[in-house]
Amino acid sequence: MTGPKIAVRDLRLEYFSEERGERHVAVDALSLDIAENEFLCVVGPSGCGKSTLIAAIAGFLKPRAGTLTMNGRPIGRPGADRGVVFQEYALLPWKRVIDNVALGLKFKGMGKAERHAVARRFLEITNLADAAQKFPHELSGGMKQRAAVARTLANAPEVMLMDEPFAAVDAQTRLTLQEELVRIWERSRVTVMFVTHSVEEAVFLADRVVVLTPGPGRVKASVPIPIARERRDWTTMNADPEFARLRDVVLGLVRGVAA
Ligand SMILES: Nc1ncnc2c1ncn2[C@@H]1O[C@H](COP(=O)(O)OP(=O)(O)OP(=O)(O)O)[C@@H](O)[C@H]1O
Ligand SMILES: [Mg+2]
């Protein structure tokens, strides 16, 4: 494929309140390309339209103006080609982990043996093989989030949209999840758009970090992160002056936005 995986052009997204008869512009004049197999992180102040942008790419929200395409075709409804991972894990509490992971495949009509085989592969990748038969309430926050990632990947999406997926876990688990996500992504090579408040998290994970302006969000800057994947563990990154430099560049851009 030659063109971008996802192309966003002059996008305007609005919410309309019937009650108050008011229009709220959440995103305006936003243009952004995401390349095939890219790991893109998006940072920006609260309320700048990050979740709204994810909703639009997922197909839950229609553009008011501009265009949104995937593989050169306009994005319409939500589809299995785009998987979304939210901050809340959204696992079904009455289903075992393996059946949660296999759920999308069940909806697609895949038989039980086959979908469990696929689910087991992604539980392996996300380091949850031993938790397959457990119920969500028996898992820690970090395990639940990995199960949610496994479920999304099991559906073989072309693009994984992640909206602050690690915001609700404790700091130590979060570091581990970040390291694990790098490895999971390397094995799946799905295209990722990852939204976060954390500049450190963004620079650690990304091929490129996009900084948005305060709402209505536009792209303020795009910073490539040319750090080798093999070096993406926290022990190495914490000692890497290039990581510190890039983090400060992005932090400066985010602070500049807020000023
Ligand atoms: N359902 C809604 N109806 C009306 N306005 C909304 C709705 N959802 C979000 N907004 C508004 O749209 C703007 C963008 O919201 P959005 O949730 O996309 O921000 P965000 O960048 O994800 O913020 P955060 O970092 O806090 O998650 C905000 O001003 C918000 O108040
Ligand atoms: Mg949000």
Query: Exposed e or buried b for every residue in 106-139, given b needs 16+ CB within 10 A?
Result: eeeebeeeebbebbbebbebbbbeebbeebbeeb
Chain centre to alpha carbon of residue 76: 19
234 CA → ligand 1 middle, Å: 31
Predicted local distance difference test score (pLDDT) of residue 259:
43
For strand 39-43 and strand 65-70, is the pairing parallel, antiparallel, or unpaired?
A: unpaired
Cα atoms in the Cβ-side hemisphere of radius 13 Å centred on 185: 25
pLDDT in tens, 17-35: 888 888 999 999 999 999 9
Beta-bridge partners for 221 = 211
- Other CB atoms within a 10 A radius of the CB of residue 54 amount to 23
Name the residue of 12, 13, 20, 48 to mutate for ligand 1: max ligand atoms within 8 A of Cβ.
48
The torsion defined by the Cα of 215, 190, 182 and 114, in degrees rounded to 10, comes to 130
Predicted local distance difference test score (pLDDT) of residue 258:
47
Predicted local distance difference test score (pLDDT) of residue 198:
93
Which ligand is in closest contact with the Cα of 42? Answer: 1
| CA 7 – CA 3 distance, rounded (Å) | 9
Would you identify the CATH topology of the domain 34-63+74-81+159-259?
Rossmann fold (3.40.50)
**pTM greater than 0.85 (yes/no):** yes
Query: Exposed e or buried b for every residue in 69-104, given b needs 16+ CB within 10 A?
Result: ebeeeebeeeeeebbbbbbebebeeeebbbbbbbbb
51 CA → ligand 2 middle, Å: 4
Element (H, E) at 6: strand 6-17
15 CA → ligand 1 middle, Å: 9
Domain ranges (residues) in the chain = 34-63+74-81+159-259, 88-156
Beta-bridge partners for 192 = 39, 160
User: Which residues have a Cβ under 8 Å from the Cβ of 180 and sit 6 or more positions away?
Assistant: 126, 127, 146
Predicted local distance difference test score (pLDDT) of residue 1:
57
Predicted local distance difference test score (pLDDT) of residue 224:
98
Instruction: Quote the tokens at residue 82.
Output: 């785009």
- The pocket of ion ligand 2, defined by CB under 5 A, consists of 50-51
Residues of the chain with pLDDT under 70: 1, 257-259
CB 178 within 8 A of CB 243: no
Predicted local distance difference test score (pLDDT) of residue 250:
96
